[in-house]
Amino acid sequence: MVGWEGALTGAFIGVLNMSLTACVMVLAVLVIRALLCRRARIFSYLLWAVVLFRLLCPVSIPGPGSLLGMLQSGTNVHGRMEYVTEELGFQAQPEVKLSRLGGGDGIRVKLPEATPETSVHPVQVGLFAGSVIWVLGMAGMGCYTAVSWGKLHRRLRNGRRERGRIYRLPGAGTPFVYGVFRTKIFLPEELEAEEEAFVLRHEEIHVRRRDPLWRMLAWLALCIHWFNPLVWLAYGLSEKDMEMSCDEAVIRELGPGVKKAYTTSLLAMAAGRSRLARTPVAFGEQDTGSRIRHVLRYKKPGKWMTVLLAFLCAVLAGWMLMNPGSSAAGEDTASGTVDDGQGNSRAVDGQGDSGVSDGAAVTEAAAMDTGSYAEMAEATLTDGQVPDGNYAVRALSIDWTEKAVDRYLIEDIEEADHYPALPFSEDCTYKGNISMNRVEIREFSYDAFERMIRENGIDNYVVLYCVIKDGQIRQIYMPGSYYGYGIAYAAPSDWDEFTWQQEAVGMDGEELLETYYSLDNTETADVSDAPGTEQIQVYTGNVGDGQSGYVLIRDAEGSLLHAEWAHESRAGWNNIYLGEQDGASYLMTLHVENREEYGSYGYQVYRLAADGTVRQIAGSTLDWNAGVTRYREDLFRQWADQMSAYLENSHLLLSTQDGILRTEKVNEADRYDFDAWKGYGNDCRQ
């Protein structure tokens, strides 16, 4: 579910989580309120501010000793408590080819692009229906507010200013405070002198404490969380505590000797007078009976009791405001720094190289029970360390609609059958992020996702490649641009990956080419720093999963330097070009994925070092996703112009555009209609 429906559901889930968190706070305040008994209500009134903060602010400060820590071990990455997640009801089903990593001098290739699809659970449909009802409820509250304010405004036209902020209304009504910033006090004409003195003292205290502002915010919270009965209870009790604490302030200022006269004035104002309807901009006197009983029983606390109660309330407020901190352990989680020249950035302006140097210690691995994998498994289980090398592991993937972020969890060691399972730590995952030529990877706790995996049983996997050196993860590579939002690390030059269908398992690269592929074209060009010119070979064939092709770059001695791969995948298409500019040859790859609700357009222009390492000359990736990432015409045009400049000086080596495998040597500068690349997601254009 994407577009406005997804945005609406996401907003409702966010409010629902805030409301559930506030429920805990309301119950806590009710307990504290009961323990305070008839002591100063100003303290319980102040604690209601914590509830208000929880209802209106989605993010809180993490810290130890939190009340919520008793209920949930950690927050999500944004610092929010999540009981209901946006992933609830969604099941990502990426179409990923299951394969294994072979050893030896195999050809370095890229895996097929994943084809993720979404199936919507009935729970998600229910959440969307709930979000619609939620909006209708807020609209109803808004209409009630507007009507009440309109009636009150018409009534205030009959008022006359007496002095300062004091206004007089004809008839016998309830005194009330009106406004938030330019506050006015409205008094009825039929008011005795003694009553008026008490009323003015009471209302002036409201104004000094900024109670009108707090009541307006409380009303806003009520309109947003109208579906939560505890919020209605909190609104009523906080108003009651506000009035009682104001009564206490009057008694403290005038002395206990005025209790009888003050309660008499409260009773007189309530008798036979109309009550003011609740609005966010005005409030009058409520629940007179309880207030009278409280005033008569009220005893001013001593100095030390006041200090003690204030200290306890401050501690309790902090205890309730804080969210539990991350539960992630530090030893087995990832951290890294950026090193130049280790890979290539896939940021929008994608110039230059970036990569990850150091990583987390790896403590466990499992492997297949045949061949070299059996030896690796034995060594791993014996000494608790993964041997140095390059490994393919399965990752359970989520949040594939979120730009620049991919969260994944390595499956348990016992469940590995075709791949080694390589846990980075027991309860942590990696979070990779791409941002303006900078790639970072850091610790990321995501317990809620782990629970969702266990409960929903997602059984589709994304292949993840890891380079292990000295017992540490040095580099990470996740093939496929769709999942590449979160991982953008180029495979190192000594990468020994070679993955095939089950019938091709066990073959090395040359055997597979001879069996399943045929040589279509050969040409020479100087595309590396190695001596002489390179031979460029284009192979096409089918190993049982559809047409695919390879572009192999060999040095003057025939050794393999580099390889590019393309498949007639429905997830998008890949083209590979050879070009020349200012007397220097270069290679260029182009990936286009254009769907109704999302799109990804990327190109990379590069040469090779003498050892085959990719040295990027230029490159850029532009992504958009309905309801998540805004489509921008100016950025698209900039991307297309930059790419076209290199396309004009190139000819095709291999293409899978429109699901058709092509290898003819043609210039395609005029082939593309960029207007057609914008997709069908018109709602994304702004």
The predicted-structure confidence for 200-228, as pLDDT tens digits, reads as follows 888 888 888 888 888 889 999 999 999 99
Mean pLDDT (whole number) for 53-69:
68
- pLDDT tens readout for residues 243-281: 888 888 888 888 878 888 888 877 777 665 555 555 665
477 and 460 within one domain = yes
Instruction: Note whether 587 and 642 are same-domain residues.
Output: yes
Contact 64, 466 (CB under 8 A): no
Question: Which pLDDT belongs to residue 653?
Answer: 94
pLDDT at position 512 is 66
Question: Is residue 98, in this structure, part of any structural domain at all?
Answer: no
The answer to whether residue 117 sits within a structural domain is no
pLDDT, one tens digit per residue, over 417-463 is 433 333 333 333 333 333 323 333 333 333 443 444 444 443 344 45
- CB-based contacts of 37-43 (< 8 A; 24+ apart in sequence): 38/294, 38/297, 38/298, 38/299, 39/301, 39/305, 39/309, 40/245, 40/248, 40/300, 40/301, 40/306, 40/309, 41/241, 41/244, 41/245, 41/248, 41/294, 42/245, 42/248, 42/249, 43/309, 43/310, 43/313
pLDDT of residue 128: 79
Phi and psi based region of residue 495 (left: phi greater than 0; alpha: psi -120 to 50; beta: remaining): beta
Q: Is residue 224 part of a domain?
A: yes
Same domain, 575 and 683: yes
pLDDT tens-digit map of 75-86: 443 445 555 554
The confidence score (pLDDT) of residue 253 equals 83
Domain assignment present for residue 95? The answer is no
Higher-pLDDT residue of 48, 354:
48
What tens digit of pLDDT does each residue of 507-565 get? 455 666 777 788 999 999 999 988 899 999 999 887 665 788 888 999 988 888 888 87
Environment class of residue 599 by beta-carbon count within 10 Å: exposed (0-12), middle (13-18) or buried (19+)?
buried
For 567-593, write each residue's pLDDT tens digit: 776 557 889 999 998 889 999 998 887
Same domain, 317 and 330: no
Residue numbers of the domain that contains 567: 506-686
Last-in-domain residue among 296, 321, 346: 321
Whether 322 has a pLDDT exceeding 60, the answer reads: yes
Clarify whether residues 73 and 181 are in a common domain.
yes
Query: Are residues 292 and 186 both part of a single domain?
Result: yes
CA distance 515 to 376: 29
Domain count, the chain: 3
pLDDT at residue 643 is higher than 80: yes
Candidates 564, 565, 574; CA nearest to 601 is: 574
In a domain, 386, yes or no: yes
Q: Does 40 share its domain with 155? A: yes
Is 118 part of any domain? Answer: no
Same domain as 387, residue 270: no
486-514: average pLDDT:
42
370 and 452 within one domain:
yes
| Same domain membership, residue 342 and residue 203 | no
pLDDT band (50, 70, 90) for residue 371: very low
Rounded mean pLDDT of the chain?
65
Establish if 514 belongs to a structural domain. yes
pLDDT digits (tens, 9 = 90+) for 586-642: 999 988 877 666 677 888 888 988 888 888 888 877 777 666 666 677 777 888 888
Name residue 506's beta-bridge partners.
none
In a domain, 461, yes or no: yes
d(CA 679, CA 593): 9
Which of 499, 528, 556 is the endpoint of a domain?
A: 499
Both 198 and 307 in one domain: the answer is: yes
> Are 449 and 434 members of one domain?
yes
Q: Which of 287, 321, 355 is the last residue of a domain?
A: 321
Distances (CA, A) of 124 to 12, 116, 120, 209: 12, 18, 6, 44
pLDDT at 526: 94
Instruction: Report d(CA 118, CA 116) in Å as an integer.
Output: 7
pLDDT of residue 523: 94
